[in-house]
Amino acid sequence: MKTYLDCFPCFLRQVVIALSQVPVDEALKVEILKETLEDVRGTDTSKTPAHTTTFIHRRIRRMLGRDPFKEIKHRYNHAALGLYPSLKSLVDDSRDPLWTASRLAIAGNVIDFGIYTEVDIEAEIDRSLKGEIVWDDYTDFRAALDRAGEVLYLVDNAGEIVFDRILIETLRDRGNKVVAVVKGGPVINDSTAEDALEVGLQQVCEVRDNGSDAIGTILEWCSEEFLALFRRSELVVSKGQGNFETLMNVDKDVFFLFQAKCNVVAGFLGVASGSMLLVDNRKLKGHDFPYTKTDSRIG
Amino acid sequence: MKTYLDCFPCFLRQVVIALSQVPVDEALKVEILKETLEDVRGTDTSKTPAHTTTFIHRRIRRMLGRDPFKEIKHRYNHAALGLYPSLKSLVDDSRDPLWTASRLAIAGNVIDFGIYTEVDIEAEIDRSLKGEIVWDDYTDFRAALDRAGEVLYLVDNAGEIVFDRILIETLRDRGNKVVAVVKGGPVINDSTAEDALEVGLQQVCEVRDNGSDAIGTILEWCSEEFLALFRRSELVVSKGQGNFETLMNVDKDVFFLFQAKCNVVAGFLGVASGSMLLVDNRKLKGHDFPYTKTDSRIG
């Protein structure tokens, strides 16, 4: 996906979110934000928004001398782990464990643990389990899993990775060999090897990293090892909007499980912002996605 | 009011909104947006957000070679004029015409004529007339008007200026001499002399301009003529958030009639975003407004 004009305010919103994680002086925050304007200016709109935000987050980490999301990720994982037993039972006791686990994995992407409001996660999940999957290629997803032996599973956020673990366990129990892929280095609240360890993912499947600290999966920046793995994989399960933005045009069998979290991606797909989606990559082909919506309200 | 970190994404959002008004090539829009990053970088956070947005909008007009809001302002005025007779009757037939006209003037600020949805303005007004004025210094407002002879009335947006006309007529009928003040040059959808003419404001009261194309009323950039008028005015009625941001610290009797349209101003005042407000400037003094809220949700 290319970068739209509407992505630019969101670039700065992401800077503000990153800086709000750390108790540093407001003046330093403003200085860092102003420096990131270099990355915003450097935006190549023919590339994905994830390209620019990757540069931005690198600069923020460099200038802060730390990963601003380290603590919150730990808290996300801990909160989600507390739900694991009940969610696991929910899946095991359901008529179609794959369906339930898939929905849960999408719900896990829906949950956007507000930093000061880690409350009512269960209610959020309950809502997500009842809510409509607006774009629902589940039947094709199940069929593709039945055909495939090995599945490459690209996880997304910390916390959410617990939900991924449950889906991966379900895939394993159905006979798929799963290789989970985390980020090669910290970037926003995305899962790294450390998060995988924290939620016990290594006990369930092989865990590899993509050799990159990019938002989503920007193949040109991934390691040779990951690219080899990616190329030979029969089926890719991809979590989160960042992976959708960066992999939607790839010529592979990919199923995207995510929530359209911004107006640009939602408008692009013709769905409401906040929609839960299970998208077969092959069904995107031939579609025309004329993104025209813009935020035109005047303050 | 100073500029907060949360204002920076909004600076770019305003650029996108301005550029969405004109049918020019996306590449040119991106070029203009990137040039405005210079203004964003130049932000002096000890000044109001209006300072930066003024620079931004000047650059946009210069690069476009036109005022991007010219057409929409004309449409706002036309739509609001269509409502004038019924709104005027509403005020005249009410038990307290000043109260009704004041609420209508705040409602006029609430109405944010979405560009593609100029529908249901009457329903919006009806809602606003029923909605709560969250910060309500109406009693003091009426008393101050009773004491004052001349009133300086700072109008805000096109369209909304029709609602201002009704309040100004009400003030006139109660015995106040009103001087209405418009912008000295086009900036966003703010009213200029042209808009005042379009809605017949000159038939109702004296209309002056402030000699400036700034958002709100940045006194350091206003004309000497306006400053003299401002200094000798007994009472100022100020419409809109921009005027609140730029005049809240002024040592005068000012009543602010507006809607808190952004999280920063709403958080600063401790009210919900979207709140309707009638604020006595004197009551702001001595208050502590520790703005701490920030948009900390992670996408």
**Is A112 in contact with B29 (Cβ distance < 8 A)?**
no
Residues of chain B with pLDDT > 70: what percent? 91
Is residue A269 within a helix (H) or strand (E), and if so which, with residue range? Answer: helix A263-269
Which chain B residues are Cβ-neighbours of A292 within 8 angstroms? none
Look up residue B251 and give its two tokens: 């040592």
Residues of chain B with pLDDT > 90: what percent? 78
pLDDT at A116: 32
pLDDT at A129: 78
Q: Facing residues of A192 across strands?
A: A183
**Is A298 in contact with B262 (Cβ distance < 8 A)?**
no
**B21 touching A, CB under 8 A?**
yes
pLDDT at B193: 98
User: Structure pTM?
Assistant: 0.92
Instruction: Compute the distance between CA of residue A234 and CA of residue A149 in angstroms, rounded to an integer.
Output: 8
Dihedral, A249, A253, A259, A262 alpha carbons, nearest 10: 0
- β B254-259/A177-182 pair status: unpaired
Look up residue A299 and give its two tokens: 């303050």
Does residue B174 carry a pLDDT above 80?
yes
**A132 touching B, CB under 8 A?**
no
Buried-exposed string A95-107: b where 16+ CB fall within 10 A, e elsewhere: eebbbbbbbbbbb
Q: What is the DSSP letter of B201?
A: G
Is residue A177 within a helix (H) or strand (E), and if so which, with residue range? Answer: strand A177-182
Cβ contact A14:A241 at 8 Å? no
Which chain B residues are Cβ-neighbours of A72 within 8 angstroms? 298
Residue whose token pair is 């579609």: A287
Cβ contact A88:A166 at 8 Å? yes
User: How many CB atoms are closer than 10 A to CB B116?
Assistant: 9
Question: pLDDT tens per residue, chain A (299 residues)?
Answer: 899 999 999 999 999 999 999 999 999 999 999 999 999 999 999 999 999 999 999 999 999 999 999 998 998 899 889 999 999 999 999 999 999 999 999 988 876 544 333 445 677 777 777 888 999 999 999 999 999 999 999 999 999 999 999 999 999 999 999 999 999 999 999 999 999 999 999 999 999 999 999 999 999 999 999 999 999 999 999 999 999 999 999 999 999 999 998 889 998 899 998 899 999 999 987 666 655 554 444 43
Banded pLDDT at B288 (limits 50, 70, 90): low
**B116 touching A, CB under 8 A?**
yes
Where along chain A do its domains lie?
A: 7-64, 70-284
CA distances from B178 to B101, B209, B235, B258 (A): 15, 14, 10, 19
- β A276-280/A133-136 pair status: parallel
Instruction: Give the residue among B115, B53, B111 at the shortest CA–CA distance from A292.
Output: B115
DSSP-derived 3-state class of residue A229:
helix
Instruction: Compute the distance between CA of residue A215 and CA of residue A217 in angstroms, rounded to an integer.
Output: 6
Instruction: Compute the distance between CA of residue A142 and CA of residue A152 in angstroms, rounded to an integer.
Output: 15
- Distance, C-alpha A283 to centroid of its chain: 20
pLDDT at A8: 97
Which residues 40-79 on chain B approach chain A with CB closer than 8 angstroms? 40-41, 43, 45, 69, 72
| Annotation: CATH topology of B70-284 | Rossmann fold (3.40.50)
CA distances from A212 to A156, A183, A234 (A): 13, 6, 22
Nearest chain A Cα distance for residue B52, angstroms: 13
**The complex's ipTM?**
0.90
Q: Look at A181-195, A203-217, B67-81, B245-259 and tell me which has the smallest mean pLDDT.
A: B67-81
pLDDT at A151: 98
Residue type, A135: W
What is the pLDDT averaged over residues B77-91? 92
Q: What is the DSSP letter of B175?
A: T
**A128 touching B, CB under 8 A?**
no
Which chain B residues are Cβ-neighbours of A241 within 8 angstroms? 299
Look up residue A65 and give its two tokens: 């001398």
Which residues touch B64 (CB under 8 Å, ≥6 apart)?
A: B22, B24, B32
Which chain B residues are Cβ-neighbours of A261 within 8 angstroms? 299
**Is B72 in contact with A41 (Cβ distance < 8 A)?**
no
Which chain A residues are Cβ-neighbours of B188 within 8 angstroms? 298-299
Which chain A residues are Cβ-neighbours of B295 within 8 angstroms? 13, 16-17, 20
pLDDT at B287: 65
Does residue B24 carry a pLDDT above 80?
yes
Which chain B residues are Cβ-neighbours of A295 within 8 angstroms? 13, 16-17, 20
> Cα-flanking dihedrals φ and ψ of residue A109, to 5°?
-75, -30
**Is A16 in contact with B26 (Cβ distance < 8 A)?**
no
**Is A16 in contact with B30 (Cβ distance < 8 A)?**
no
Which chain A residues are Cβ-neighbours of B298 within 8 angstroms? 17, 69, 72, 112-113, 115, 157, 188-189
DSSP-derived 3-state class of residue A174:
coil
**B162 touching A, CB under 8 A?**
no
Nearest chain A Cα distance for residue B45, angstroms: 8
**A25 touching B, CB under 8 A?**
no
Which chain A residues are Cβ-neighbours of B258 within 8 angstroms? none
DSSP-derived 3-state class of residue A86:
helix
Cβ contact A236:A152 at 8 Å? yes
**A263 touching B, CB under 8 A?**
no
Q: Which of the four CATH numbers 1.10.357, 1.10.1060, 1.10.8, 1.10.3470 does domain A7-64 have?
A: 1.10.8
**A271 touching B, CB under 8 A?**
no
H and E: helices and strands count for chain B: 13, 7
Handedness of CA B266, B269, B275, B280 (dihedral sign): negative
Q: What is the DSSP letter of A248?
A: T
